[in-house]
Homo-oligomer: A and B are copies of this chain.
Amino acid sequence: MSKENKRVSEAVIRRMPKYYRYLKEMKASGIKRISSRELSKKMGLTASQIRQDFNCFGGFGQQGYGYNVEELCDEIQKILGLHKEYNMIVIGAGNLGQALANYSGFEQEGFNIKALFDINPRLVGISIRGIPILDIDHIEGFLSQCEVHIAAICTPKKTAQEMVDRLIECGVKAIWNFAPIDVNAPDDVVVENVHLSDTLYTISLRMNEDYN
């Protein structure tokens, strides 16, 4: 990461996947060019915000002509690291873990789920779309054989941090955590804590904005 990139704010980083979604959709519908004004209208952002966001990554396109949709989409795909392939595992093969394994959208973007792990003997041995559910006790052996880039944590709260520690010990460098706590990791490990409840609570907040 260059010093310049280190200044890209959290908020900008979080908007990049959204740009990608919209651009991919436009590309698929055959749209060739789009102005920042049109893009802003579609996405509910201001045109100046879009230009500022893109400038964080060196800026793209020519403003007079608007952006070339395909080129912009490809650039953002690269920024998101989606031009590469990643091996993933899912820890916890309950409903949420199985939902991740069942969703084909991830592998379309290069995220290949290699295995799920669980402690439940009724789940171990089953396959989800050809992806095996393995015994959690075999995780260290598995990681010594297969390079895993990202681990999704779909365990209950109480075992999440312990599992994260075990995975990091085995060299996993990115954690996608769905357990309802913020898990911690050393600075060289990427951690994304996804709190589904938080998104639900912003709904109830908005439904109650007359609280004063």
Contact = CB atoms under 8 A, between A and B. Distances in A.
Interface of A: 1-2, 4-6, 11, 13-14, 16-18, 20-21, 57-58, 78-82, 84, 86, 94-96, 98-100, 102, 105-106, 109, 111, 149-150, 173-174, 176, 180, 182, 190, 192, 194-212
A197 B106 contact: yes
A201 B82 contact: yes
B205 A80 contact: yes
User: How many copies of this chain sit in the oligomeric assembly?
Assistant: 2
Contacts of A99: 94-96, 99
A200 B4 CA distance: 23
Q: Is the interface of A mostly helix, strand, loop or mixed?
A: helix
A206 B13 CA distance: 9
A79 B192 contact: no
A166 to B, nearest CB: 19
A149 B2 CA distance: 47
A197 to B, nearest CB: 6
A180 B105 contact: yes
A204 B81 contact: yes
B17 A198 contact: yes
A82 to B, nearest CB: 6
A13 B196 CA distance: 15
A1 B59 CA distance: 38
Contact of A13 (B6, B57, B205): B205
Nearest to A22: B182
B95 A5 contact: no
A109 to B, nearest CB: 7
Given A80-B205, A190-B206, 12 more contacts: A17-B197, A17-B205, A18-B198, A20-B201, A81-B211, A86-B204, A95-B96, A95-B98, A96-B96, A173-B207, A174-B203, A176-B203
Contacts of A95: 95-96, 98-99, 102
A99 B197 CA distance: 13
Contacts of A6: 209
